[in-house]
Amino acid sequence: MPAFGSFALLVALLLSAYNLLAGGVALRQLATGSRGAFSPERMAETARRAGIASFFAVSCAAFALVWAAFTNDFRLVYILDHSNRALPWPYKFAALWSGQEGSLLLWAWLLAGYGFVLRLRHKVDVKLTAYASTILAGIQVFFLLLVNVAATPFSLVQGAVPPDGNGLNPLLQYPEMVIHPPMLYLGYVGFSVPFAFALGALMMRYPGEKWIHITRRWTMVTWLFLTVGIFLGMHWAYNVLGWGGYWGWDPVENASLMPWLTGTAFLHSVMMQEKRGMMKSWNVWLIFSTFLLSILGTLLTRSGLVSSVHAFAQSSIGTWFWVFLVLVLAVCLFAYIINRDHLKTEHKLESLASRESSFAFNNLVLLLACFTVLWGTLFPILSEFAQGNKVTVSAPFYNRVAVPVGVFLLFLTGIGPLLAWRSTSLRSVRKNFVVPGIAALVVAIAVIPLGVHPWTIFTTDHEGAFYAWVTFALAGFVATAIFAEFFRGARVIQKHTAQNLLSSAVQLTRRNTRRYGGYIVHFGVVLIFIGIAGQAFNTSVEQTMSYKQTMNIGPYQIECMDYSQDTNANYDSTYAILDVYRNGHKITQLDPAIRFYQASQQPSTIVANHSTLLWDLYVVYAGTDPQTGQPVIKAFLNPLVAWIWIGLLVTIFGTLVALFPNLTAALAAQRSRVPAAAGHEQLVAGRAGD
């Protein structure tokens, strides 16, 4: 199998290189009108087929590595370092991405997979797809070079083969780890497709905005994968790392957030190009930046340039990424300088009170947020260069600098839908703002008796309560603005169809899935912000607990019922059994534990969490008292965390809605049993302000 895997990787590299070279030559000939021994069309077709075949070759290599993990083939250094005989089978599958070499192979495989779909769907636009396919082949060549030369997953152990492996990092032995990295990588890698289309469209001076229509679904699907990947990572951190939080502003977390922010900005600003022919250069550079940030993030976290908790995948492949990054940037700059006249904007912003203007500010703030994250991540290196010593840039910095930016972004989320394209009259602005404004005011007052005291910003140096208060008020504002949009549109349909309001809202959404799906995503974001704001009120207690001893946190009383040890083939565990009471009634039993994995000789915490809409009772087995042998229990009361995960589900739902094709006017009229002409008018109403 190792020989088969290595051979498959070599074949994949050769096929991708052929796709790049033959595709490049064919496109050059097509552009200049010159002809060689083969017709450029035929050569481009062979290049496309080579690209398709490269997917099968990389799939064989990925299969070979997974097979090696399942058959405990410890001749492979990678399997020896990341698996062992007692490892449960889902984690053996996850071994594919648990180390440097395997995760790069996963990257190459996903890239080839995206390329496979793109090349199969070439009839959407043969020439543009040929450009995109060739550019994608260039990226494939880089990653396949890495796994063939710099970080090969099929290296063999020198000397005698050990009987068992060193095991998987205990932190990765958690169900979410089986899906979190592939999701994240699907997001990172997926941005290569809109990048390839954008660069291809620029190189061939593609007329019109069709490339945006072609890549819209690609970008949204990619964005969704990255979003889900990031949140699964947060959920994993929350449930595994045991420090009571879900986001630590670690460089690896930051690396995933940066392309997400620019990708989000791109999803918004392409609408201006589609509708008004504006911001063409901006959009091209947004998608270039998103792709470059994916690579930069990988470089930062794998080269050891910045230190990170996520040390699973560090090595010396940084130089490869530096060269690739500079090369890609040079190609992008060159293509832009040569073709920038092709990207002239067709319209200008006409008013500050317009949808375009709100998108411009939204982009500004998203990019600033991205810059702040990058700045904070790189500042320790800059500091070492400028003043000779490293400094730490951690949560307190981001909480001070990035949180206000996030709050401002939430504000813009509410403003955008209230403004019309081109220009909105002051009267209309006032009218649209009244109800959401009142809602914000009501929420701002209502949360004060609940313990949200914004004035503590003046009495302490904690700004958390103040920002939480502003966030709750803005959440009220944005949610009301979104519901008002649905309500207004649904009322129009209700008048014509006599359906109930909910059915009308569903039909409204189906008539313009992108717009209303987008609003659902915004509502999901509001829920996520509410959940994050709850963090300002986290409390914790730590106590050594003997049998029947109790501790109190918030409304809960925790009683220790037992503490013991257990063992199995994979790990030994030490755990406590805790009964949780509220108002004298037992509501649940929690059993936090520490596991000690035998193969890797590393410990890991297993958090016990009782989650409600109001708060999470999050309990960690923090250690054992060396004198008494009794468990040290740390309990956290984390308000509103569940809202984050609910917000994610709403965001996923909204994105899926936005991916759905619109209901046509005729079909909408048929569904609502009204004449087609009236249906068309309703459709116009449903699309007003789109």
Site for other proteins, residues 431 to 460, rule: CB under 8 A: 431-432, 453, 455-456, 458-460
- 626 HSE (CA, 13 A, CB side): 0
Question: What's the closest the beta carbon of residue 371 comes to other proteins, in angstroms?
Answer: 6
157 vs 364 by CB, closer to other proteins:
364
Question: What's the closest the beta carbon of residue 399 comes to other proteins, in angstroms?
Answer: 9
> Following DSSP, what letter does each residue of 423-442 receive, concatenated?
---HHHHHHHHHHHHHHHHH
- Interaction residues for other proteins, span 643-682 (CB under 8 A): 681
- Interaction residues for other proteins, span 47-76 (CB under 8 A): none
Question: What's the closest the beta carbon of residue 185 comes to other proteins, in angstroms?
Answer: 23
Under rule CB under 8 A, residue 393 binds other proteins: yes
25 vs 622 by CB, closer to other proteins:
622
Under rule CB under 8 A, residue 501 binds other proteins: no
- 437 Cβ partners below 8 Å, 6+ apart? 477
Which helix (H) or strand (E) covers residue 632, if one does? strand 631-639
Letters for 544-583 (x = contact with other proteins by CB under 8 A, - = none) are ----------------------------------------
Distance from C-alpha of 679 to C-alpha of 676, rounded to nearest angstrom: 5
73 vs 250 by CB, closer to other proteins:
250
Q: Which of 360, 468, 532, 606 binds other proteins (CB under 8 A)?
A: 360
Question: What's the closest the beta carbon of residue 536 comes to other proteins, in angstroms?
Answer: 12
Question: What's the closest the beta carbon of residue 86 comes to other proteins, in angstroms?
Answer: 21
Distance from C-alpha of 640 to C-alpha of 662, rounded to nearest angstrom: 35
Q: Which of 77, 179, 401, 577 binds other proteins (CB under 8 A)?
A: 401
128 vs 508 by CB, closer to other proteins:
508
Chain length of the chain:
690
Which helix (H) or strand (E) covers residue 571, if one does? strand 571-582
Phi, psi at residue 570, to the nearest 5°?
-95, -35
- Interaction residues for other proteins, span 203-242 (CB under 8 A): 241-242
Phi, psi at residue 537, to the nearest 5°?
-115, 20
Region label for 548, one of left (φ > 0), alpha (ψ between -120 and 50) or beta (otherwise)? left
27 vs 168 by CB, closer to other proteins:
168
Nearest to residue 130, comparing CAs of 25, 216, 208, 15? Answer: 25
Token reading at 264: 């989000």
Burial of residue 274, with CB atoms counted within 10 A of its CB: 0-12 exposed, 13-18 middle, 19 or more buried: middle
113 vs 623 by CB, closer to other proteins:
623
Candidates 146-154, 368-376, 564-572, 577-585; binding stretch for other proteins (CB under 8 A) = 368-376
Q: Which of 120, 330, 395, 434 binds other proteins (CB under 8 A)?
A: 395
Token reading at 21: 């070279």
The residues that bridge with 624 in the sheet, in sequence order, are: 631
Token reading at 167: 């095991």
Distance from C-alpha of 389 to C-alpha of 159, rounded to nearest angstrom: 43
533 vs 620 by CB, closer to other proteins:
620
Asked if residues 301 and 294 have their Cβ atoms less than 8 Å apart, the reply is no
Candidates 218-226, 426-434, 502-510, 585-593; binding stretch for other proteins (CB under 8 A) = 426-434
Distance from C-alpha of 647 to C-alpha of 532, rounded to nearest angstrom: 11
Candidates 119-127, 212-220, 321-329, 484-492; binding stretch for other proteins (CB under 8 A) = 484-492
Distances in whole angstroms, Cα of residue 249 to Cα of each of 184, 255, 365, 406: 17, 10, 19, 14
Nearest to residue 209, comparing CAs of 14, 398, 343, 406? Answer: 343
Q: Which of 71, 394, 546, 568 binds other proteins (CB under 8 A)?
A: 394
Under rule CB under 8 A, residue 376 binds other proteins: yes
Q: Which of 31, 86, 150, 368 binds other proteins (CB under 8 A)?
A: 368
Under rule CB under 8 A, residue 429 binds other proteins: no
Angle at alpha carbon of residue 617, lines to 611 and 618, rounded to 5°: 100
34 vs 387 by CB, closer to other proteins:
387
103 vs 424 by CB, closer to other proteins:
424
Question: What's the closest the beta carbon of residue 358 comes to other proteins, in angstroms?
Answer: 11
Q: Which of 303, 351, 598, 662 binds other proteins (CB under 8 A)?
A: 351
Q: Which of 344, 348, 427, 585 binds other proteins (CB under 8 A)?
A: 348
198 vs 593 by CB, closer to other proteins:
593
Distance from C-alpha of 120 to C-alpha of 114, rounded to nearest angstrom: 10
Candidates 105-113, 341-349, 521-529, 657-665; binding stretch for other proteins (CB under 8 A) = 341-349
Phi, psi at residue 408, to the nearest 5°?
-65, -40
- Interaction residues for other proteins, span 287-326 (CB under 8 A): 307-309
Distance from C-alpha of 534 to C-alpha of 44, rounded to nearest angstrom: 55
352 vs 498 by CB, closer to other proteins:
352
Asked if residues 406 and 332 have their Cβ atoms less than 8 Å apart, the reply is no
Question: What's the closest the beta carbon of residue 346 comes to other proteins, in angstroms?
Answer: 10
Under rule CB under 8 A, residue 377 binds other proteins: no
Asked if residues 654 and 517 have their Cβ atoms less than 8 Å apart, the reply is yes
Question: What's the closest the beta carbon of residue 489 comes to other proteins, in angstroms?
Answer: 7
Under rule CB under 8 A, residue 598 binds other proteins: no
Distance from C-alpha of 109 to C-alpha of 158, rounded to nearest angstrom: 28
Under rule CB under 8 A, residue 248 binds other proteins: yes
Distance from C-alpha of 301 to C-alpha of 95, rounded to nearest angstrom: 19
Asked if residues 686 and 512 have their Cβ atoms less than 8 Å apart, the reply is yes
Asked if residues 607 and 180 have their Cβ atoms less than 8 Å apart, the reply is no
> Following DSSP, what letter does each residue of 403-419 receive, concatenated?
HHHHHHHHHHHHHGGGS
Under rule CB under 8 A, residue 372 binds other proteins: yes
Distance from C-alpha of 7 to C-alpha of 462, rounded to nearest angstrom: 59
240 vs 284 by CB, closer to other proteins:
240
Candidates 53-61, 97-105, 267-275, 400-408; binding stretch for other proteins (CB under 8 A) = 400-408
Under rule CB under 8 A, residue 685 binds other proteins: yes
Asked if residues 618 and 609 have their Cβ atoms less than 8 Å apart, the reply is yes
Nearest to residue 61, comparing CAs of 100, 24, 96, 18? Answer: 96
Under rule CB under 8 A, residue 349 binds other proteins: yes
559 vs 681 by CB, closer to other proteins:
681
51 vs 376 by CB, closer to other proteins:
376
Question: What's the closest the beta carbon of residue 55 comes to other proteins, in angstroms?
Answer: 38
